[in-house]
Amino acid sequence: MKKYLIVGLGNIGEKFTSTRHNIGFKILDEVAEEHNVTFETDKLGDIAIFKFKGRVFVLLKPSTFMNLSGKAVKYWLQKENITIENMLIVTDDVNIDFGVIRIKAKGSAGGHNGLKDIQEKLNTQEYARFRFGVGGNYSKGRQADFVLGEWNKEETSQLIERMPLTEKAITSFGTAGLANTMNTFNGK
């Protein structure tokens, strides 16, 4: 049975729960809820595992904080014996309009410290990433405040509408493949 590691990037702790930077955790919570599994604390992160259409999905929310995510990612790839081709990193992106999904097969970290650490620890940029647009509505030099800020009321209500689509994109990655998933969900 093929296994997939789906990593949601975020920061642990109550004060980060509703921040834009934690969209990776929020999306994985949606996936876990849809598949009736709960996260359990394990080494370097919280883990939830489910089977869907003959595939095993291992959901990981690293407990290493965003900028040190690579250590947890590398550990769980090795522990679960999952190839890098079967890994998807879910993260926020300030360069994409709010709510828009962009899935890519590879690429640079684009200034994202979580992705930068993963690339350093895995020694490659060749891994799939699922970027969820959080918009770029911040003043020059205020990016950290923006991504660590909480969603406003309008964004919160729109997020509720967007979450089911994110779950479908993630399960599609494991069942339909990366290329089909990109064609179906990019820009939505």
State the Cα–Cα distance between residues 132 and 99, nearest whole angstrom.
Answer: 6
Out of 3, 5, 7, 21, which one is annotated catalytic? 21
State the Cα–Cα distance between residues 27 and 92, nearest whole angstrom.
Answer: 10
Tell me if residue 21 is catalytic. yes
Question: Dihedrals φ, ψ of 98, to 5°?
Answer: -50, 130
Q: What is the identity of the amino acid at 83?
A: T
Token reading at 70: 């690579």
H helices, E strands: number in the chain: 6, 7
CA angle 97, 102, 104 (to 5 degrees): 145
List residues with catalytic annotation.
21
